[in-house]
Structure 1
Amino acid sequence: MNSLTPLDYGTVVATDTVRIERMLPGPIDRVWAYLTQADLRARWLAGGEMDLRPGGAVELRFRHSQLSRDDDAPPDKYAYCAQEVSEHGRITAIDPPHRLAYTWNEAGDESSEVEFELHEHGDQVRLVVTHRRLADRNAMVSVASGWHAHLDVLLARLSDQEPGGFWRNHTRLEAEYERRIPAD
């Protein structure tokens, strides 16, 4: 089904940037819908409305406890994620169904930008997620493990499978990214 497995890790591509790729079941319009439609995005990442135009508002409402069943509690450093967490941003680039980019945590101290690129490969879609302007190594480890865990949920949803425990997977992945991402 996929040429990549959940063991394919994201990589550091600049001092403030991580990139992770996945081959997903298509078609491309279906994957695009999971990126842009609040109800579908809530099944793997975060709900919330998006005004799909340059400069349009992005609301992300994270409800991690609803992403999977039979999961562990979030680790202490992510305890605040046990409840709904909201972030806001703005669309910085959009080219349906191939490219979507927006600011992340725009109002926060550590605003960054995430970009999604979609490429058709037969009946599959290569999704490239690039997260830029990360403040430091700790942010890179957290973001890389977070995207990896969320993309594992997306792959399960697109494959009509029940995803494994989000926090259990995230905790394992964060330890692995701690080893993989070079110290400053």
Structure 2
Amino acid sequence: MSEYGTVLESGAVRFERLLPGPVERVWAYLTESDKRGTWLASGKLEPRVGGTVDLLFKHSQITSERPPERYREMNDNGWPSRGTVTRYEPMRALAMTWPGEGDASSEVTFELTPEGDRVRLVLTHRKLADKAEMANVSGGWHLHLGILEDRLAGDPPRGFWSRHAAIEADYAARYAKLPG
């Protein structure tokens, strides 16, 4: 299984990871603020369809690396984001709207399937505006999911900012080859 996301259709990317289980533990890292804050963003998630998701992206909580200037606020003050839960099936699936530029929003779905002592996580991000947004989002998910994998395995988190520009550029090059 590749760490790289794949394009499903225009404006949609998908990632798969086989993570250390059990499924209850992986679910907690998706839904509980303190655990989610160690790999993505902390914040309240109302556990129901229609519930509010208030995320605070504060990268100083997930990596000791200093970010490039354009992302400095995400490290120092945090960057707030608000979405809505669109699917909530405990231990199986969680989906939420994801704010984009202006009034545009996309949707992120996390699906979990137990496989022995491991859990297959399938993350799908849909309704992305264009290839540039797809590359940006793909680079972020690629790195965040790597840190999630490290946290679940009990390993030190791999680099985020030291790998960010190269991973995002790699996705941009991959997506530039797509039609449209």
**Normalising TM by the smaller chain, what interval?**
over 0.9
Aligned match for 1:78, one of 71, 74, 84: 71
Structure 1: gaps of 5 or more residues:
none
TM-score of the aligned structures, taking structure 1 as reference length:
0.90
SS at match of 1:116: strand
Contact kept? 1:91, 1:100, Cα under 8 Å: yes
Answer yes or no: is 1:11 the counterpart of 2:6. Answer: yes
Aligned match for 2:46, one of 35, 39, 51: 51
In the alignment, the residues of structure 1 paired with residue 107 and residue 29 of structure 2 have an alpha-carbon distance, to the nearest angstrom, of 19
Tell me how far 1:135 sits from its aligned partner. 0.9
In the alignment, the residues of structure 1 paired with residue 24 and residue 115 of structure 2 have an alpha-carbon distance, to the nearest angstrom, of 13
Partner of 1:169: 163
SS at match of 1:94: strand
Matched letter for residue 26 of structure 1: G
Partner of 1:120: 114
Contact kept? 1:72, 1:165, Cα under 8 Å: no
Contact kept? 1:89, 1:106, Cα under 8 Å: no
Aligned match for 1:180, one of 153, 174, 180: 174
Structure 2: gaps of 5 or more residues:
none
Aligned match for 1:130, one of 120, 124, 133: 124
Contact kept? 2:95, 2:109, Cα under 8 Å: yes
TM-score of the aligned structures, taking structure 2 as reference length:
0.92
* Count of residue pairs the alignment pairs up: 177
Tell me how far 1:38 sits from its aligned partner. 0.3
Identity %: 47
* Worse-matched range after superposition: 167-176 or 122-131: 167-176
